[in-house]
């Protein structure tokens, strides 16, 4: 019998005390808490809360709005406007991008006008949308749509142009229809470009909804921010901004999770 068989059983080494703090989510949470704590201290001792407010005051305002139902009322309006604009922009943008990639000659002819529209600050279109659609939901949806549609078009066009053309030409010689090629080849190939467009467009859709609300609306986070600013209510302004930041963070995280699952086959 060897000495190894007489040795006491080995126990697992204790986990490193720093392992918990190596978690990315924990680090992100600690960074956020530290930033809020610094803001609270600065607002209490370094600056006048009238100019910068404080997280404690914002938290109190959020609680008041939630209890009264105003938080859900305004947030649901902005989410609906931005969500519908994003959905419509993605469908139209992907479809138009595929068409432009398919008919390159026509797309080159229309390219100067297209790039001119893309470079146009969409804020300039807001008064027109208000005139055409009123101050209701359609105007805000179209504002969000105008902010995101070009992102999808340009990304899809670049994604298709980056593909190897030989398999596509081979499928055409074998009699494959354009619809089959789009469904089986092009869309899976440009999926990463489409998901990247979604991540970019989340914030743009919110901006479009906010611009529409700032120009003409009776509800929404943009309307609440504008009203608070008109009343010199800094806490109200920061409250609306904080809610928008939270919405953008959650939406981007959802898009990232969906993107990872849809593109897992590429890894």
> For the segment 23-78, what is each residue's pLDDT rounded down to a tens digit?
777 887 888 889 888 988 887 777 777 788 888 899 999 999 999 999 999 999 99
Query: Tokens for 88?
Result: 């419509």
Q: Nearest CA to 92 among 158, 145, 161? A: 145
What is the predicted pLDDT for the residue at 213? 87
154 domain residue, yes or no = yes
Question: Helix, strand, or coil here: 219?
Answer: coil
pLDDT in the model for residue 78: 93
Residue 182 lies in a domain: yes
DSSP state of 176: -
Is the per-residue pLDDT at 267 higher than 80? no
In this structure, is residue 212 part of a structural domain? yes
- Indicate which CATH number applies to the domain containing 219: 1.10.3720.10
Q: Give the pLDDT confidence score for residue 15 in this predicted structure.
A: 46
Residue 22 covered by a domain:
no
Q: Which domain holds residue 136?
A: 61-266
- Read off the pLDDT band of 2 (50, 70, 90): very low
**244, burial (CB in 10 Å: exposed 0-12, middle 13-18, buried 19+):** buried
Q: Is 39 inside any structural domain? A: no
Cβ atoms of 193 and 155 closer than 8 Å: yes
The 8-class DSSP code of residue 19 comes to T
Claim: this prediction has a pTM higher than 0.85: no
Residue 69 lies in a domain: yes
Residue 227, token pair as written in the block: 């009203």
16 domain-assigned: no
| CA 266 to chain CA mean position, Å | 23
**Residue 3 pLDDT > 70, yes or no?**
no
CA distances (Å), origin 144, targets 74, 78, 81, 204, 210: 17, 10, 7, 7, 9
Task: Report how many domains make up the chain.
Answer: 1
pLDDT higher than threshold 70 for residue 202: yes
59, two tokens: 């938290």
Q: Which of 94, 82, 81, 92 is nearest to 197 (CA)?
A: 94
Q: Taken in order 32, 34, 35, 41, is the CA torsion positive or negative?
A: positive
d(CA 99, CA 87): 19
In a domain, 136, yes or no: yes
């Amino acid at each position: 019998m060897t000495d190894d068989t007489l040795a006491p059983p080995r126990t697992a080494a204790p986990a490193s005390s720093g392992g918990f703090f190596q978690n990315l989510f924990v680090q992100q949470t600690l960074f956020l808490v530290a930033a809020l704590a610094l803001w609270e201290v600065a607002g209490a001792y370094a600056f006048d809360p009238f100019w910068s407010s404080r997280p404690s005051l914002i938290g109190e305002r959020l609680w008041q709005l939630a209890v009264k139902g105003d938080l859900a009322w305004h947030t649901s309006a902005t989410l609906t406007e931005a969500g519908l604009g994003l959905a419509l922009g993605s469908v139209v943008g992907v479809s138009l991008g595929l068409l432009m990639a398919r008919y390159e000659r026509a797309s080159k002819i229309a390219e100067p006008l297209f790039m001119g529209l893309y470079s146009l600050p969409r804020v300039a279109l807001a008064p027109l949308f208000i005139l055409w659609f009123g101050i209701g939901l359609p105007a805000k949806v179209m504002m969000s749509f105008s902010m995101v549609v070009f992102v999808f078009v340009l990304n899809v066009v670049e994604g298709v142009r980056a593909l190897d053309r030989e398999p596509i030409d081979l499928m055409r010689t074998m009699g494959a229809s354009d619809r089959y090629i789009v469904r089986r080849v092009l869309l899976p190939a440009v999926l990463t470009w489409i998901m990247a467009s979604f991540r970019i467009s989340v914030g743009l859709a919110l901006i479009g909804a906010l611009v529409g609300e700032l120009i003409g609306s009776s509800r929404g986070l943009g309307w609440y921010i504008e009203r608070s600013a008109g009343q010199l209510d800094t806490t109200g302004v920061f409250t609306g901004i904080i809610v928008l930041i939270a919405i953008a963070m959650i939406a981007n995280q959802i898009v990232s999770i969906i993107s990872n699952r849809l593109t897992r086959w590429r890894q």
